[in-house]
Amino acid sequence: MLNNISEAIKEVENFSPKTKEDIEVFRLRFLAKSGTLNSFFNEFKNIPNQEKKEVGQMLNKLKNLVKEKTTNPLLSNKTEKKVGLEDLSKPVANNCIGSRHPLSIIEQEIVEIFSSIGFSISEGPEIEDDWHNFTALNVPKNHPARDMQDTFFIQTNPDILLRTHTSSVQARYMQKNDPPIRTISPGRVYRNEAVSSRSHCLFHQIEGLYIDKDVSFADLKQTLLYFAKKLFGKKSKIRLRPSYFPFTEPSAEVDVYWGLETESDYRITKGTGWLEVLGCGMVDPAVLENCEIDSKTYTGFAFGMGIERIAMLKYKVDDLRLFYENDIRFLNQFSNSI
For binding to ligand PHE (CB under 6 A), which residues are involved? 165, 167, 207, 245, 248, 251, 279-281, 302-304
- Min dist. Cβ of residue 59 to ligand PHE (A): 48
> Which residue, 78 or 221, has its beta carbon nearer to ligand PHE?
221
Residue 305: name the closest of 251, 254, 246, 249 by CA.
254
**Gap between the Cα atoms of 24 and 38, Å rounded:** 17
- Min dist. Cβ of residue 144 to ligand PHE (A): 15
- Min dist. Cβ of residue 300 to ligand PHE (A): 10
> Which residue, 79 or 248, has its beta carbon nearer to ligand PHE?
248
**Gap between the Cα atoms of 221 and 281, Å rounded:** 9
The residue number whose beta carbon is nearest to ligand PHE equals: 304
- Min dist. Cβ of residue 291 to ligand PHE (A): 14
> Which residue, 105 or 224, has its beta carbon nearer to ligand PHE?
224
Pairing status of strand 153-154 against strand 299-306: unpaired
- Min dist. Cβ of residue 252 to ligand PHE (A): 8
Q: How many residues make up the chain in this entry?
A: 338
> Which residue, 47 or 225, has its beta carbon nearer to ligand PHE?
225
- Min dist. Cβ of residue 117 to ligand PHE (A): 18
**Relative orientation angle of helices 102-115 and 217-232, to the nearest 10 degrees:** 130
**Gap between the Cα atoms of 230 and 306, Å rounded:** 17
> Which residue, 40 or 301, has its beta carbon nearer to ligand PHE?
301
> Which residue, 70 or 167, has its beta carbon nearer to ligand PHE?
167
List Cβ neighbours of 53 (8 Å cut-off, separation of 6 or more): none
**Gap between the Cα atoms of 125 and 139, Å rounded:** 19
Integer angstrom CA distances of residue 320 from 118, 195, 256: 31, 9, 20
Pairing status of strand 248-257 against strand 238-245: antiparallel
**Gap between the Cα atoms of 125 and 154, Å rounded:** 14
